[in-house]
Structure 1
Amino acid sequence: MEALHDEDRAVREAATTALRKIGPPAAPALIVALQDPNGNVQEAAVAILKDVATPEAVEPLIGCLTSKNWIVRMHAAKALGNLGDERPVRQLIPLLMDSVKAVRVDATDALAQIGRPALATLLAAVRHEEWVLRLHACEALGKIGAEEAVVPLCEVMLHDRDMAVRQDAAKALGSIGHPAAFEALEKAVTDLSVRPYAVDALGKLKDPRAVPILIDVVAGKNRPANARRVPVCGDESGALDVEEMEVQIFAVGGLAEIGDDRAIQPLIRALKDTRLRAAAASALSKMGLRIAAPLVAAMKTETDSNILSHARGILSAVGWRPAPTMKEGV
């Protein structure tokens, strides 16, 4: 432990490595070192504890969450998450709005690791006045994946005043993947700021009810009337719509996730769209041999060499081989 005070950084690093190798038996001495007036020693001790901490370290680590040193706060949050003890839940919540992003991230992960014991506190946090706390609470709830969070997250996604919070609520609903979120996500598809995340989440639900919605997105049929087109790459007309392209690519991926036969023909048609071709090819490749017959039929009249090349790649990926009597074409 004395080596952690050494002025030579190499000596301190060697001591840190040695203490990690000792493991949990080193925890009592490291807990004492958390109170050392030397900031380098505090940082080293808490960094090691995140890997070797024992339940006895919980209370001292909770004390570190209010340290003026952000590195100490960050490692303490990570250590408490690794321990999975429910005692620090209340003290971790304020770190969701810490001024340092790394601290916010590790506090969010810690609450997610603690899991169900943190649910009630996180569900209350999604109604907090500070948007950044609401945002990270949504993220933690998504990582926990509890069904109880679905309805509150739907409310946040549809009604929160902050765009970033609504977006994170949609992401969380996708991570949870519960069908109870379907109706709310269907509504959120019309919110331009949430649309990409809602479409992505619909695919992750793997709910067949989402198939017609996603097919329409891929076909460009249900873009909100108030959508703005963004000129890019010198195309001032806005015809190359990168914002909606992202949404369509999410929809293509969602159709592959759901794996419904209704998606086969729309995905084959999407091969004709240069913006969606790679995503559509990847999606069809995941759907197995059942796509072979309709794809071969569609390619009989195709003349675009790039589309034909993608079709050959898809057929190879699903394990299709032409019958010996079939003429070469695809």
Structure 2
Amino acid sequence: MNRTFLSYVGENRTTVVRLARTLRAFEVDVWLDRDRLAPGVRWATAIREAIARGDFFIACFSREYHERSRSYMNEELVLAIDELRCRTTSRAWFIPVLLNECEVPDRDIGAGETLRSLQWVNLYEDWDRGIDRILAVVAPAHAKLHAAQRQLASGSARERIRAADDLAAMGSLARPAVPALTDVLSDSNETVRAAAADALGNIGAALDETIAQLLRVMRRGDYYDSRHAAGALAKLGSPALSALREAATYPGYGVAHSAREALAGVRDPAAVPVLLQEARDGSLPAVDGLGGIGGPAAAAVPFLVEMARHPDAVRQWHAIEALGKIGDAAAVPALAERLSAPNARTRWEAVAALGRIGAPSTPALVAPALADPDGTVRSTAVQTLDWTRFPGDTLATLARLLHDTDLVVRMYSAQALGTLADVRAVSLLVDALDDDPNVVRAAALSLGSLKADAAVSALVRVLRHEREWVRDAVSEALLQIGSPEAVRAVRSRR
């Protein structure tokens, strides 16, 4: 089993976890990050050994990586380049991967070459083709696919489930397995049937036949099977819209409900007319689905504006949230009207929606919510506002909010101070280091963002905090400040 080290920055964790899951489906032993370290192990030593002993090193580059001046990934790259210089040039070991549009760093690897001299893999333009190229180096992809297909016929239900899950992780690369998975939809074990349906949704090939077979499952009327078949249809997107609408008319406990929920999960703009009709018919999942589609669902705004005034508060909440996610400025007047609603949740949903839309009028509309009697409304307003555009005395307002009775208000206020290029914020944040641990963490990170050298002694004192996650945040802040005293304090902690 090949051992492969994945190096990345935290902002890309979701994409990298997806990559790791796919590689593991092909029996690649993936070292994803420091979570594999046992307590008390020196992480730098362990990572150096993991890199040196690994069969492959995959460096996941991205815009987010280039935007960070400091990261653990940089340390890992230094170790990997040292290892690369010692290895033969006749066999690939260091694999640069692009997660989004960016460049491979022009780092020297010796012999007049740089990292750009290595062939890289582009994952963001064609994920499946990129995975194919990685697997061509690190694993026998086709052998794994064939093995999974054979395993679908195993006498063990557990092995059949594992095979379906492995095929699901391969995505469209598992297209040859569609006929075998279709047969498994009639398996005697309901968990095997569910795994097969999920896999067909992930693979997304042979659409007409797959849709027909999944509808056949839903016509059987079994709740458990129907729920998974509906979820698989939703993954297939717009080609399955008419099938899901048809399934919403089927009898059987929970079958129609599963179809409607799945319909709301389709994120294709082609689903907007169907979801809008479902919403008019009273489906709240359809309203949520319109919000999930975002801007392309702008045609639903007039209906949602009227729904935001509905006497039923729950319907108001769903409509307001969807309006915020769609992001059309035409909804701003209706949302502003909801800021004075008697229901507190309606008010904070309206604040959050206005923040998502981000219209020029948002700061002036949301500012009064900072004095709302409900703490959640106030905290949502603090989090929502772009404080660089606040229509008042920003520092005085945040200073007041740092003493709010609501913990979350104080925490977000400390975060907001870190976005201001105002040296007067430092003393306010230092005072906040004596507050609740959540506020202390936020204040410390803001001081780091401000590179507040004057706060180093106060931050060093907080390195003795009883909560480890607070100490970690303080260490990060001190490293951001980067003064000799700050760096020494962090090193002494390690």
TM-score in same-fold range (> 0.5): yes
1:254 alignment partner, one of 392, 411, 416: 416
Paired letter, 2:455: L
For 2:277, give the aligned amino acid. Q
2:462 is matched by which residue type in structure 1?
N
1:72 aligns with 2:259: yes
Tell me, yes or no, if structure 1 residue 60 matches structure 2 residue 243: yes
How much does 1:51 deviate? 1.6
Q: How much does 1:37 deviate?
A: 2.9
Q: Deviations over 1:55-106 (max 9, x none)?
A: 4x33333344566532222112213x345432123234268765xxxx4795
Question: 118, 129, 138: which one pairs with 2:320?
Answer: 138
1:306 maps to 462
Query: Percent same amino acid at aligned positions?
Result: 26
Please state how far the C-alpha of 1:135 moved relative to its aligned partner. 0.4
1:197 aligns with 2:360: no
Q: Tell me the equivalent position of 1:89.
A: 275
Among candidates 115, 130, 155, match of residue 337 of structure 2: 155
CA distance in 2, matches of 1:267, 1:125: 42
Distance change in 2, residues 1:262/1:175 (3 Å): farther
The 8 Å contact of residues 338 and 346 in structure 2, kept in 1 or not, is answered as: yes
Query: Using the alignment, how far apart are the partners of 2:443 and 2:277 within structure 1?
Result: 46
Give the TM-score normalised by the residue count of structure 2: 0.50
Q: Which residue of 1 aligns with 2:234?
A: 50
Gaps of 5+ in 2: 1-181, 466-470, 487-494
CA contact (8 A) 2:275 2:290 kept: no
Looking at secondary structure, tell me which structure has more strand per residue: 2
Name 1:181's counterpart in structure 2: 362
Q: Which residue of 1 aligns with 2:7?
A: none
Amino acid aligned to 2:230: V
Cα 1:129/1:195, change in 2 over 3 Å: same
Q: How far 1:136 sits from its partner (Å)?
A: 1.2
Aligned-residue offset at 1:169: 1.2
Contact 1:43-1:71 within 8 A present in 2 as well: yes
Residues 64 and 124 (structure 1), Cα distance of their counterparts in 2 relative to 1, 3 Å cut: farther
* TM alignment of 1:90-109, pairs within 5 A: 90-93=276-279, 98=284, 103=285, 107=289, 109=291
TM-aligned CA deviation for residue 150 of structure 1: 2.9
Q: Alpha carbons of 1:105 and 1:7: their partners in 2 closer, same or farther (altered >3 Å)? A: farther
Higher mean displacement: 14-23 or 176-185: 14-23
> Against the structure 1 CA distance between its residues 153 and 54, is the aligned structure 2 distance closer, same or farther, given a 3 Å change threshold?
closer
Name the counterpart of 1:295.
455
Question: Cα distance 1:260–1:59, how it changes in 2: closer, same or farther (>3 A)?
Answer: farther
> Structure 1's 252 and 90: CA in aligned 2 closer, same or farther, altered over 3 A?
same
Match of 2:273, SS state, is: coil
Summarize deviations over 1:194-243 as a string: whole Å, max 9, x none. Answer: 222122222x454244443222211x2xx5xxxxxxxxxxxxxxxxx5xx
Shift of 1:117: 3.0
Asked if the contact 1:186/1:198 (under 8 Å) is kept, the reply is yes
Name the aligned partner's letter for residue 198 of structure 1: A
> What secondary structure, in the 3-state scheme, does the structure 2 residue paired with 1:85 have?
helix
The number of residues matched between the two structures is 286
CA contact (8 A) 1:65 1:91 kept: no
C-alpha separation in 1, matches of 2:474 and 2:303: 53
Task: Report the CA distance shift for 1:118/1:260 in structure 2 as closer, same or farther (over 3 A).
Answer: farther
For residues 227-265 of structure 1, the C-alpha deviation after alignment (integer angstroms, 9 at most, x for no partner) is: xxxxxxxxxxxxxx5xx2221111111222344444233
CA RMSD after TM alignment: 3.6
Native 8 Å contact 1:6 1:12 kept in 2: yes
* 1:156 shift after superposition: 1.0
Q: 1:285 aligns with which of 430, 448, 456?
A: 448
Q: Which runs of 5+ in 1 are unaligned?
A: 224-240, 324-330
